[in-house]
Structure 1
């Protein structure tokens, strides 16, 4: 699981922003939001322009150099913070993999090229390397995989990716498990554009995925549960292709006539259908097209799926309730910090507190 994340100098984050999944309080309610001692489901709030989308892009930056999975073009334009004077952005991840704790740090420049990379396992340096001056400490790596060819170090290519891809055996098993976790991370948007990062190499099956009748039944149940009183069917068009339709006297093509909210539900269903393999899910503006009752239903659905960590961004204050989550799982992002409600006030928050009322009244602005 991802235990901690820090970023500095990336997009609008001029100073360090931290998201600590290990900062778990001893609340006796909404325990489904916690797994193995870490925050497992969280929602991030914040005013427009503070970087709610960018915190997701920052977390998923490592997809771009550790995996071969999809990164929708354009998402990483204007990479460095405009006031950055170091010439690079800094990223730091701490993963809990089995009994091991892995710290992964790196720097990238405006061209998104690695300048520095370091891995520590249980506080011991595995390797640390500065690509600019071609100097570093590889002793821990040489001890674990002494026969590997390291001539590639002349290139700005991830050492971690190279080692994991070219090493067999159990010498670096925790690192392999960490990269497997990263390979199964997914960033997506709830909007009707299928923009995403990670998890898959492509989504060519996005429209045809639903043509499996078992999946159709699952999606039918989801939209009906969401209060959408429609029936779906698969029809073979004159060109011989199967397509999804709303079942009417005169059938209506789903992707041409569905509302934005219904298409957003389809996108969510498409990605959650693969939830057995997901490790980490970030949905940006997850409820952009949803009625507040539907938003609550989606949060409840995600809470029931404990196989992966989930981060959502939202403006919907109706979700700020201890009935659904808990104060240590709701976060507020400002230009300078990312803080849970539990840490944003000196008040002792209890199950009976009205979090939405406190939020609107400015209780957490300090």
Structure 2
């Protein structure tokens, strides 16, 4: 599981910034929201253009580096209002009681890469530009690494970390992770799988989704077929081999095509396969624009559902919905606000202000206690 990550000179984060998923001394929600000493999720709130999306972007970038593209231009992620050419990214994970740290430094002007990998404080990979030393492979030194390639990725694909089960489990955890932008309706997967709605329905049918609707008293079910029938309507697809998604509301029982449903219902249906997958297969679910089209009560339900049912999975998400700032849903150490000033973005962890468990976190946030609240002049 992810313990923390640090960035410096990255996007809107000019100064060195740590985002921690390690628990503090709060007792609230200890039975559901924590595994061991690590939190099952964190939420970022703040004004528009404050850097909320940039707060989760380092995790997506790590996954992209290791699984998507070995020649990512890190210069695109350098802070635009900083003269410092070096971008720093540090990640710390806990896997089977072992600590794994992966550090990356990129000189954007020289296009040189530094990589360090630590296992329980022991440096096991030390790469600087074209040269690297590795302790866990037969070959101990490498001197022909391409300038803009990430060496850890190459080691994994060439060796599969044979003889290093902890590293293997770490990469399984990472590859099970998903980044999903609800506003763009765009997901990024990091292993050979298809979590699109239609692919999920072809493989699993509608039972799991409809059971979720029944369990939480949704007044709707879905059908996936080439035709749907109601008392008044009969709808068929253009091709009998082609299936489509239809909603049916309780006590109405008329088919409503997916494209004619509300934005919230469409987004929910797109998201549920991703939710189910990340809960069952330990990994990270990174959600941007989580509040896109959802009612407050639905947002609360989804967050509580994920955290309650996950074991080693984690939810990192961005939302504008202040109703989620509640000790009924998330602990103070799971909440971050994001501010932006002349020095870039800054995060503020609610637990740093030591609110009491009985206090109203939403009201405290809106009154400015935790910062990250936009201030507009009213005429």
TM over 0.5: yes
- Measured in 2, the distance between the counterparts of 1:175 and 1:350 equals 39
- 2:77 match: secondary structure: coil
- 2:315 maps to which residue? 310
Alignment correspondent of 2:234:
none
User: Which residue of structure 2 lines up, in the alignment, with residue 49 of structure 1?
Assistant: 49
Give the TM-score of the pair, scaled to structure 2: 0.82
State whether structure 2 residue 197 is matched by structure 1 residue 206: yes
Structure 1 residue 77, shift from structure 2 partner: 9.5
SS at match of 1:82: coil
TM-score (norm 1): 0.85
CA, structure 1 residues 152+259, in 2 after alignment: closer, same or farther (shift >3 Å)? farther
> 1:7: Cα distance to partner?
1.0
In structure 1, list runs of 5 or more residues that go unmatched: none
Deviates more, 1:27-36 or 1:55-64: 27-36
1:4-51 per-position Cα deviation (integer Å, ceiling 9, x unaligned): 101122221111221111242232445311111111122111111111
Relative to structure 1, is the Cα distance of residues 107 and 317 closer, same or farther in structure 2, using a 3 angstrom cutoff? same
Report the Cα distance in structure 2 between the residues aligned to 1:226 and 1:187, rounded to whole angstroms.
Answer: 25
Give the aligned partner of residue 66 of structure 2: 66
**Residue aligning to 2:18:** 18
**Which structure has more strand as a fraction of its residues?**
2
Q: Residues 99, 295 of structure 1: CA spacing in aligned structure 2 closer, same or farther, 3 A cutoff?
A: closer
Aligned to 2:102: 104
Instruction: Quickly say closer, same or farther: Cα 1:40–1:359, change in 2 above 3 A.
Output: same
RMSD: 3.0
1:85-127 CA deviation, whole Å, 9 max, x = no partner?
A: 2334211001112132111011346599662211112212112
Contact 2:195 2:274 in 1 (8 A): no
Match of 1:161 in 2: 153
Query: For residue 347 of structure 2, what is the aligned residue in structure 1?
Result: 338
Q: 2:287 aligns with which of 283, 288, 297?
A: 283
Residues 225 and 47 of structure 1, relative CA distance in 2, 3 Å threshold: farther
C-alpha offsets along residues 150-177 of structure 1, whole Å, 9 cap, x if unaligned? Answer: 3542443222122222236754332222
Provide closer, same or farther for how the CA distance between residues 316 and 111 of structure 1 changes in structure 2, counting only shifts above 3 A: farther
Candidates 268, 284, 299, aligned match of 2:303? 299
Q: Is the 8 A contact 1:233 1:244 kept in 2?
A: yes
The answer to whether residue 139 in structure 2 is matched with residue 117 in structure 1 is no
Q: Higher mean Cα deviation, 219-228 or 34-43?
A: 219-228
What residue is the counterpart of 1:217 in the other structure?
207
**What SS is found at the alignment partner of 2:329?**
coil
The equivalent position to 2:369 in structure 1, one of 358, 363, 366, is 363
C-alpha separation in 1, matches of 2:196 and 2:323:
34
Distance 1:207-1:264 versus aligned 2 partners, 3 A rule: same
Structure 2: distance between partners of 1:33 and 1:185: 19
Indicate the residue corresponding to 1:263 in structure 2: 266
SS, match of residue 337 in structure 1: strand
In the TM superposition, what are the counterparts of 1:88-99 in structure 2 within 5 Å? 88-99=86-97
Cα 1:144–1:211, aligned 2, differ >3 Å: closer, same or farther? closer
Q: 2:348·2:371 contact (CA, 8 Å) conserved in 1?
A: no
For these two proteins, the number of residue pairs brought into alignment is 351
